């Protein structure tokens, strides 16, 4: 019994240690974001890696999701003679929920893993120590450009994903279910309000912070060589996934109960 309690206590302490570490890194990152010097080049490089290079995978994921959403809803909608509403369903599901979440999950898998592996390798090969000996703050040099890039690129990718997903729904709705093109567009844009897009974007800003901080934290505390890098990469992706879903739930509840959206 006492062993079980000790184990539970150890797990709790390790959770607190992890949560504390993540929080400290997040606060330091925000602090160093506003501290000079401000260099454009590393941020632009990261924006390309995070944003431009993610376009194909976000395109495929959101296109197929939009198509599947239209096809799945067609089952029920056709029975109720309401297949016109497929357009609204696809648009609202994507902008409010699926667009931000799926884009964030894809980026967490692609970019988060790459950040954790890159920083982890730098840690085990003493490159992060070398940065410090060269009088350079690793958070300012390594974390801040990735943070700014993710913070701006993830919402942009989300908007792009929303549009692509809606196009996917359009392809099924118009070409397969024979809904008139102008009717499909009307039923897409009419129910869509600015707040639907804004709630999705607010989520994606939060997801960007989660992906960056978790990946950088995991990368920068790697120990034990290649095995440690592999473990940190896996952990970064898994923890990001869990936190993205949890944050999504929290924000959805907040918007639903708190702001009567």
Could you tell me the smallest distance in angstroms from the CB atom of residue 122 to other proteins? 8
Note the Cα 135 to chain centre separation in Å.
32
Q: Does 80 participate in binding other proteins (rule CB under 8 A)?
A: no
| Beta carbon nearer to other proteins, 5 or 134 | 134
Subset of residues 35 to 64 that bind other proteins, contact rule: CB under 8 A: none
Using CB under 8 A, count the residues that bind other proteins: 14
Closest CB to other proteins among residues 133, 178: 133
Binding to other proteins (CB under 8 A): which residues in 121-150?
Answer: 121-122, 125-127, 129-137
3 state SS of 147? helix
Q: Which C-beta is closer to other proteins: that of 124 or that of 231?
A: 124
- Least CB distance to other proteins at residue 20 (A): 18
Task: Report whether 261 contacts 96 (CB < 8 A).
Answer: no
How much of the chain is helix, strand and coil, in % rounded to 5? 90, 0, 10
Between 5 and 135, name the residue whose CB sits nearer to other proteins. Answer: 135
Compute the distance between CA of residue 148 and CA of residue 29 in angstroms, rounded to an integer. Answer: 10
Question: How many Cβ atoms sit within 10 Å of the Cβ of residue 34?
Answer: 8
For the bound state, the minimum distance from the C-beta of residue 129 to other proteins, rounded and expressed in Å, comes to 6
* Closest distance to other proteins from the beta carbon of 2 (Å): 22
Question: Which of these segments, 73-81, 117-125, 189-197, 216-224, binds other proteins (CB under 8 A)?
Answer: 117-125
Q: What's the min distance (Å) between Cβ of 185 and other proteins?
A: 45
Distance CA 70, CA 133 (A): 56
The CA distance from 31 to 64, in Å, is: 40
Using the minimum distance from each CB to other proteins, give the nearer residue, 126 or 227. 126
Extract the tokens encoding 210.
């989660």
| CB-count exposure of residue 7 (10 Å: 0-12, 13-18, 19+) | exposed
180-190 burial by CB neighbour count: b if 16+ within 10 A, else e? eeeebbebbee
Determine contact, residues 63/168, Cβ cutoff 8 Å.
yes
- Binding segment for other proteins (CB under 8 A), chosen from 21-29, 59-67, 118-126, 178-186, is 118-126
Select 118 or 162, whichever has its Cβ closest to other proteins. Answer: 118
- Give the nearest distance from C-beta 130 to other proteins in angstroms: 4
Nearer to other proteins (CB atom), residue 121 or residue 204: 121
Closest distance to other proteins from the beta carbon of 217 (Å): 19
What are the CA-CA distances from residue 80 to residues 75, 84, 244 (Å)? 9, 10, 35
Interface residues with other proteins (CB under 8 A) are: 121-122, 125-127, 129-137
């Amino acid at each position: 019994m006492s062993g079980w309690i000790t184990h539970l206590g150890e797990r709790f302490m390790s959770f607190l240690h992890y949560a504390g570490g993540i929080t400290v890194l997040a606060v330091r990152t925000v602090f160093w974001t506003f501290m000079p010097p401000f260099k454009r080049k590393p941020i632009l490089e990261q924006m390309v890696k995070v944003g431009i290079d993610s376009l194909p995978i976000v395109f495929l994921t959101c296109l197929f999701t939009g198509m599947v959403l239209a096809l799945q809803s067609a089952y029920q909608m056709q029975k109720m003679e309401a297949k016109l509403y497929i357009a609204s369903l696809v648009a609202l599901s994507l902008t409010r929920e699926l667009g931000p979440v799926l884009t964030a999950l894809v980026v967490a898998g692609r970019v988060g893993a790459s950040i954790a592996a890159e920083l982890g390798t730098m840690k085990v090969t003493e490159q992060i120590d070398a940065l410090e000996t060269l009088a350079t703050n690793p958070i300012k040099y390594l974390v801040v450009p990735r943070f700014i890039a993710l913070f701006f690129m993830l919402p942009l990718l989300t908007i792009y994903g929303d549009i692509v997903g809606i196009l996917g729904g359009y392809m099924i709705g118009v070409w397969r279910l024979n809904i008139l093109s102008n009717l499909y567009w009307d039923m897409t844009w009419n129910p869509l309000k600015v707040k639907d897009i804004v709630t999705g974007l607010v989520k994606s800003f939060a997801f960007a912070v989660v992906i960056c901080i978790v990946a950088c934290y995991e990368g920068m505390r790697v120990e034990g060589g290649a095995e440690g890098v592999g473990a940190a990469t896996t952990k970064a992706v898994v923890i990001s996934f869990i936190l993205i879903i949890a944050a999504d739930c929290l924000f959805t509840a907040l918007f639903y109960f708190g702001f009567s959206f």
